Structure 1
Amino acid sequence: MVNQTPVQIAWVTPDMDATERALSALLGARKWVRMPGVHLGPDTCRFRGRPADFVADVSLSYAGDTQLEIITPVRGESLYAEFLDRCGPGLHHVCREVVDADAFDAAVRDAESHGATVVADGVMAGGMRFAYVSAEDAGVPYIEIACLSDDIRTFFDHVKQEQQP
């Protein structure tokens, strides 16, 4: 079986400062790296089958080998804004990484064949492919499937190194 261990846990919140403080205290994250104004546009992202255009602030840290992500929607329709409106702040998704484009396509097809729905997908700046799949009726809001580019992997390694005392 392919390793499907989650590599990231993510929260959506309107108050990034408060969530960073709480996760630092509860999970031992040392330093957060913020990326304000991350834009995903209609040429590279879809939400519920339609081109998406939204902006979110993102903050990253690590607890051991697990990446922690905090997302604050800024503008536009997105799965983050929708979740915040429907559920309030909280745990949003876990992410699993795949090794290459073929494994990404296979993982998305496999999720769909098991009844999951692709809610959002696209390519982030830096070349990371992503798909958020959901099995809401089973209590699983989102699982993110990600295929990292070398540039994104290097950036994540930098964020992880920032955690060293």
Structure 2
Amino acid sequence: MFKNIMQLAWVTTDVRQAVKQFQEGQGIENIAIFDGFTLSTAEGGEVVIDVALAYVGDMQFEIIQPVSGEVDLYRRHLPADPTEYALRFHHICSRLDSIEEYEQVLSDYRKRGVTVEVDGSFGEGGRFFYADTRGLVDHYQEYVYRDDATKEFLNTLPRN
């Protein structure tokens, strides 16, 4: 599960306030914000989020504010009242190095009866899924296979 960890992620009701909190409270000064970031699900739906991204060393930090579409995965960790500010830890993300490895890990989770919340895609061939490992380790586990276009995009993110 914890092989090739590349990202720590939080969900929030206000991405800009959360970014300010990370900047002032954690000293992560350079953080990029992307509004209306859209991902596709395997079932043909979409996930729309406002997302803040930055690196601290080799570790990527992600802050997600759910906007629309299939975002229950994120919203269920937040207060029912969207005007109430919250910032909560959500998941760890591990990198998978081939689409074959991605399919194998996804299949393994399903065979073990672990719920896969979202199986989606981005870029020109990137894939991601969230395994509901909250009962085991109190957070979701995300896995991602990054295509070349996604790797190029990630290389443009701020470094701290």
Paired residues for 1:42-53 under 5 Å = 44-46=40-42, 51-53=44-46
- In the alignment, structure 1 segments of 5+ residues that lack a partner are none
2:68 aligned residue: 75
- Residue 106 of structure 1 aligns with an amino acid whose one-letter code is Q
Aligned length: 154
Distance 1:36 1:90, change over 3 A: same
* Cα deviation 1:117-146 (Å, max 9, x = unaligned): 211011023432001001232243311100
2:83 aligned residue: none
**Contact 2:41 2:47 (8 Å CA) reproduced:** no
**Contact 2:18 2:87 (8 Å CA) reproduced:** no
**Contact 1:121 1:132 (8 Å CA) reproduced:** yes
Deviation at 1:3, TM superposition (A): 7.5
- For 2:133 and 2:2, locate their aligned partners in 1 and report how far apart those are by CA, in whole Å: 20
* Cα deviation 1:52-71 (Å, max 9, x = unaligned): 33421111011111000011
Higher helix proportion, which one? 1
Distance 1:51 1:30, change over 3 A: same
**Contact 1:10 1:71 (8 Å CA) reproduced:** yes
1:152 aligned residue: 150
**Contact 2:11 2:78 (8 Å CA) reproduced:** yes
Q: How high is the TM-score relative to the length of structure 2?
A: 0.83
- For 2:57 and 2:2, locate their aligned partners in 1 and report how far apart those are by CA, in whole Å: 18
Deviation at 1:112, TM superposition (A): 3.2
For residue 112 of structure 1, the aligned residue among 110, 117, 131 is 110
- Residue 66 of structure 1 aligns with an amino acid whose one-letter code is M
Q: How high is the TM-score relative to the length of structure 1?
A: 0.80
1:131 aligned residue: 129
- In the alignment, structure 2 segments of 5+ residues that lack a partner are 81-85
**Contact 1:60 1:67 (8 Å CA) reproduced:** yes
1:90 aligned residue: 88
- Residue 56 of structure 1 aligns with an amino acid whose one-letter code is I
CA RMSD between the two structures: 2.3
Secondary structure of 2:95's aligned partner? strand
Identity rate of aligned residues, in percent?
Answer: 29
**1:6 and 2:2 aligned:** no
Extract structure 1 runs of 4+ deviating beyond 6 A: none
Secondary structure of 1:57's aligned partner? strand
